[in-house]
Amino acid sequence: MTGNALVVAGIVTLAAGTYAFRLSGQLLRARITFPPRVTRLLEAAAVILLAALVATTALTEGHGFAGFARPAGVLVAGVLAWRKAPFLVVVLAAAAVTAVLRLLGVS
């Protein structure tokens, strides 16, 4: 295979596999009748996954620490969200705090 064909094969593999992941959870859910307690647990599992995603994308880059600017922005966003600030304010504050810190030389 030429280089390009191999790259296309890689993209198709990634796309098809990702679609399979997206579909298989739903198929399981449709096939099995879960008691309400398990249903709540499945929803909590998604929240845990998302929280872990927040932690890793806020604090890490590759295998290392992402620097202070980004987690500081996300922390400010978290405090604002906890205090029920509007979504727009929360998200823009994250970007603004991070950008200002970087402007000041904090990586």
Q: How far apart are CA 102 and CA 46, in angstroms?
A: 32
Q: How far is the CB of 45 from another protein (least distance, A)?
A: 5
- Give min distance, CB of 70 to another protein, in A: 5
Q: Please report whether residue 59 would count as binding another protein according to CB under 8 A.
A: yes
- Does 106 sit near another protein (CB under 8 A)? no
Which candidate, 44, 45, 74, 43, places its Cα nearest to that of 57? Answer: 74
81 touches another protein (CB under 8 A) = yes
Residue type at 79? V
- Among positions 2, 36, 51, 106, the unique one binding another protein when judged by CB under 8 A: 51
Q: Is 104 in the site for another protein (CB under 8 A)?
A: no
Question: Of 9-38, which residues contact another protein (CB under 8 A)?
Answer: 9-15, 17-19, 21-30, 37
Specify whether the CB–CB gap between 76 and 92 falls below 8 A. Answer: no
Sorted by sequence, the CB contacts under 8 Å of residue 79 that are 6+ apart come out as none
